[in-house]
Structure 1
Amino acid sequence: MSYCYSGSRVVVRGARLARLIPPPCLLTHHTPPTTPSDLGFELQASRQLCYHPSTTLLSHPPCLQHQSFSLSTMASTIAQEKAKFTPPDNLGTKYAVDEVHRYMVDCMVAVGTPKPNATALADVLVAADNRGHFSHGLNRLEMYANDVKQKVCAGDALPTITKESVSTALVHGNNGLGPVVGNFCMDLAVKKAKETGIGWVCTRGSNHYGIAGWYAMRATKEGFLGMSFTNTSPLVAPTRAKKPALGTNPLALSAPAKNGDNFVLDMATCVVAVGKIEIERRKENPIPEGWALDKDGQPTTNAAEGMQGALLPLGGSELHSGYKGYGLGMLVEIFCGILSGKIFLCLQPGGQYGPNVRRWMQTDQEADLGQCFVAIDPSFFAPGFEDRMSDLMDHCRGMESADPNKPVLAAGDPERSHMEKVKTEGGITYHINQITDLPMGPQELEIPPQEHTLAQLDMF
């Protein structure tokens, strides 16, 4: 890894953008740039990084006595400069939705996933980013790829039905990709709901399945109410506990309204999803107080410490009714890990639950997650469901806001707004650190770079 000075620019090879700061000898002042216009970083298809000198650079940097020099000789200096540098929140890169989708599919195929399964995964991840949930889109690609590459997730597996009735089913995911399992289960629930009014499907032997709302909305496309739940790795400390015992255990409900409108609730049962803390860690930002505990069970605003400690249940501390979030997390665990899972202390295969689920990002054993999918046909109940749904949502939206600049919204409105923004701007804008921390480069996957490097549309 080295800096190479070539006339009008300095090229840094084999490095990630988020980790690099120009040596102080290249700057007339040691204050690092703080705005996009001050930064001259350029991410190229060859995965090289260029810093374009401007008027703030010395015309003849005294440290560049040779054409190139090793970063190792300047490690401490660069580390000091990096510590001073905080990328602004609006520093980002924009990519076409289709290009992001292609990149994800190609990466998963490169680690041995059949294209149909890779496509199912990419559909969910791109939907997350398109809807503004950056914690569950491109940010998650590394986890899925590593699981398949390490063979703790079977990228080619398909789920099977192990037990069913006219309105219920128990499915085994066979350790397949979560979105492959989730799509199968919700489609099965919808099929049963068409016949009996309700379909309730639980699965075990699954993996992380992305945003829970994806599967709930899959039912709403058929005019049904959809619900989706999953347990996850233990990350959340029960109220009064120091250590985690439950997952973030998200739940989702999607309900159809008139004229294509719908209510889409998609929420973790903790204060914040772990992915949001990961995003703040990547940005090197502090996290709000009340999100997490450190490894000693004390509140922290340090994202890295929060990742090593535990998240707080929805509501936060006991004083702020965190026990309600704790209860909701248990509800999801009952639907997912307990209802579908194995008998305690027996060898019967089945989903894990609570503290028995493998640790976050652990790759030495299968995840064996439990999940639950429900589809309800409202026509089996009182007529006029969509009319009443629209009336309630529109009433809330039309209420006078305490802050004129912040209108009252219904669940799903922020996501629709973000999707419209992506459409208007012609692409998804990612924070620069999300792009530069991508693990799926040509060297890691041993694939031609021109086929697997995101084609950049607009920098800054």
Structure 2
Amino acid sequence: MPLRLLAVQDNFKVQESDAIRVSSQDLKHITRELFQKAGVPQEDAVIAAEVIVMADLRGVDSHGVSNMLQVYLERYSDGSQNPEPQWHIQRERTASANIDGDRGLGIILAPKAMEIAINKARENGVGVVTMANSGHLGMAAYHAMMALPHDMIGMCLTATSPSVLPTFGRIPRLGTNPIAIAAPAKFCRPWVFDMATSVVPVNKVRNVKRIGSMLPGGTIADAEGSPLMEPAFVPDDFNLLPLGTHRDGGSHKGYGLAVAVDILCSVLAGSDYGITADRSNYRHYFAAYNIDAFSDVEAFKQRMDHFIMDLKKTPPAQGHDKVLVAGDPEWQAFDDRSVNGIPLHYEVVAWLRQICFQYGVQTNI
């Protein structure tokens, strides 16, 4: 197996030899200033910088500065994203709300929507908020994790523009439609699950193309919808596949999950779904579950500790060192990058220097 392919399978990370380490504080400063130069109010720019850099800190490079900052700035520049949205609740009940985002960027509006869900859960046990007419919300786990300090379970779903083939399909009909759930524990770190309903999100494919690596077989399909089952470099034209790759591998399950996300995020919110929605219209779903409304909080956390540790005590299969649980790789990345800086590909650093010069933002990276 080619060495480059092995590197890709290891979370699609940039090679250390191609990386420049940048501190999270420097990256937040640059990002915040760039958002403000794009017309975003200071308070919202702080939120945006926090969300996008947290993705980098947790090793979710596909949703960090490397891939998304340029996209966000371009959307402000071309007018598809509103830097000062007049978002509003258009329908509300005691435990639920539906928000019109007024084309505001999701990484800024999603934390505000999740706060509403948390406040409703505090009073009612459960809080659910939907949002349409918004933009990309970044790493979904960020918003789900907001519930953790409140002794709540958090959930975030988001329906994106079509890039994923339905099982047996030739044309993309669904977004990568991620699902994130976060649950607190007592002594163990929180269980944080964040997955796309496609085999991989498109930004990971872009990362692989940037670093010149090969994708494992079964990751994407060609332009005609046929899965590429052998390791290959990323072609110019490709389609994403639902989780499972093909019918025999269970792709109908990934396909079904993607549809379910679109129902909860889009149809429930009274919005167009992925096939019919404007490509700049992202739809979201946020939920908070107050543990105290269902069981004793301390007992829940202790039970979570036991559950997590029992999973980790599972004897590993041959060729593997240990069994992990959701969130383990991200916590490991967070520990490393908080101390040693965030590894950015040298091309990304060159772009950051260029865009900072273009926008008149001082930087020392």
Give your verdict on TM over 0.5. yes
1:372 aligns with one of 278, 285, 288: 285
Distance in 2 of aligned mates of 1:189 and 1:309: 37
Q: Which amino acid in the other structure matches residue 434 of structure 1?
A: V
Distance in 2 of aligned mates of 1:433 and 1:242: 34
Structure 2 residue matching 1:254: 3-state secondary structure: strand
1:234 shift after superposition: 0.2
Q: Which has the higher contact order (CA 8 A, sep 6+)?
A: 2
Distance in 2 of aligned mates of 1:397 and 1:106: 42
Structure showing greater radius of gyration is: 1
1:247 aligns with one of 175, 179, 183: 175
Name the counterpart of 2:83: 155
Distance in 2 of aligned mates of 1:185 and 1:88: 36
1:275 shift after superposition: 0.7
Structure 2 residue matching 1:259: 3-state secondary structure: coil
2:135 matched to 1:204?
Answer: no
Name the counterpart of 2:121: 193
Structure 2 residue matching 1:156: 3-state secondary structure: coil
1:116 shift after superposition: 1.3
Q: For residues 218-242 of structure 1, what are the alpha-carbon distances to aligned partners after superposition, in whole Å with 9 as ceiling and x for unaligned?
A: 0112110000000001000000001
Structure 2 residue matching 1:201: 3-state secondary structure: strand
Using the TM superposition, name which of 394-403 and 194-203 deviates more. Answer: 394-403
Structure 2 residue matching 1:400: 3-state secondary structure: coil
Q: For residues 197-236 of structure 1, what are the alpha-carbon distances to aligned partners after superposition, in whole Å with 9 as ceiling and x for unaligned?
A: 0001111111000010001000112110000000001000
Name the counterpart of 2:274: 354
Q: Which amino acid in the other structure matches residue 338 of structure 1?
A: V
Q: Map residues 194-273 of structure 1 onto 2, 5 A cutoff.
A: 194-259=122-187, 261-273=189-201
Distance in 1 of aligned mates of 2:219 and 2:205: 9
Structure 2 residue matching 1:354: 3-state secondary structure: coil
Residue 338 to residue 114, structure 1, CA distance change in 2 (3 Å): same
Q: Which amino acid in the other structure matches residue 276 of structure 1?
A: K
2:60 matched to 1:121?
Answer: no
Distance in 2 of aligned mates of 1:189 and 1:441: 36
Name the counterpart of 1:340: 269
Name the counterpart of 1:328: 257
1:419 shift after superposition: 0.8
Q: Which amino acid in the other structure matches residue 348 of structure 2?
A: Q
Distance in 2 of aligned mates of 1:385 and 1:338: 33
1:89 shift after superposition: 5.5
Count, aligned residues: 346
Name the counterpart of 2:243: 314
| CA contact 2:188–2:305 (8 Å) conserved in 1 | no
2:311 aligns with one of 389, 393, 396: 396
Q: Which amino acid in the other structure matches residue 129 of structure 1?
A: D
Structure 2 residue matching 1:330: 3-state secondary structure: helix
Name the counterpart of 1:104: 31
Name the counterpart of 1:407: 322
Structure 1 residue matching 2:102: 3-state secondary structure: coil
| CA contact 1:131–1:418 (8 Å) conserved in 2 | yes
| CA contact 2:152–2:290 (8 Å) conserved in 1 | yes
Residue 423 to residue 180, structure 1, CA distance change in 2 (3 Å): closer
Q: For residues 96-127 of structure 1, what are the alpha-carbon distances to aligned partners after superposition, in whole Å with 9 as ceiling and x for unaligned?
A: 11000111111111121112111111111100
Residue 444 to residue 295, structure 1, CA distance change in 2 (3 Å): farther
2:68 matched to 1:135?
Answer: no
Residue 292 to residue 404, structure 1, CA distance change in 2 (3 Å): closer
1:160 shift after superposition: 1.2
Name the counterpart of 1:418: 333
2:80 matched to 1:167?
Answer: no
Structure 2, unmatched stretches of 5+, are 1-13
Higher helix share goes to which structure?
A: 2
TM-score, with normalisation over the residues of structure 2? Answer: 0.90
Percent identity between the aligned chains?
32
TM-score, with normalisation over the residues of structure 1? Answer: 0.72
1:436 aligns with one of 350, 354, 357: 350
| CA contact 2:159–2:176 (8 Å) conserved in 1 | yes
1:443 shift after superposition: 4.8
Q: Map residues 2-41 of structure 1 onto 2, 5 A cutoff.
A: none
2:223 matched to 1:295?
Answer: yes
| CA contact 1:287–1:303 (8 Å) conserved in 2 | yes
Residue 440 to residue 335, structure 1, CA distance change in 2 (3 Å): farther
| CA contact 2:164–2:174 (8 Å) conserved in 1 | yes
Q: Which amino acid in the other structure matches residue 95 of structure 2?
A: S
Provide the alpha-carbon RMSD of the alignment.
Answer: 1.8
Structure 1, unmatched stretches of 5+, are 1-86, 342-350, 360-366
Q: For residues 114-150 of structure 1, what are the alpha-carbon distances to aligned partners after superposition, in whole Å with 9 as ceiling and x for unaligned?
A: 1211111111110000000111001200111011111
Q: Map residues 172-183 of structure 1 onto 2, 5 A cutoff.
A: 172-183=100-111
Q: Which amino acid in the other structure matches residue 232 of structure 1?
A: T
Name the counterpart of 1:84: none
Q: For residues 25-58 of structure 1, what are the alpha-carbon distances to aligned partners after superposition, in whole Å with 9 as ceiling and x for unaligned?
A: xxxxxxxxxxxxxxxxxxxxxxxxxxxxxxxxxx
Distance in 2 of aligned mates of 1:220 and 1:101: 23
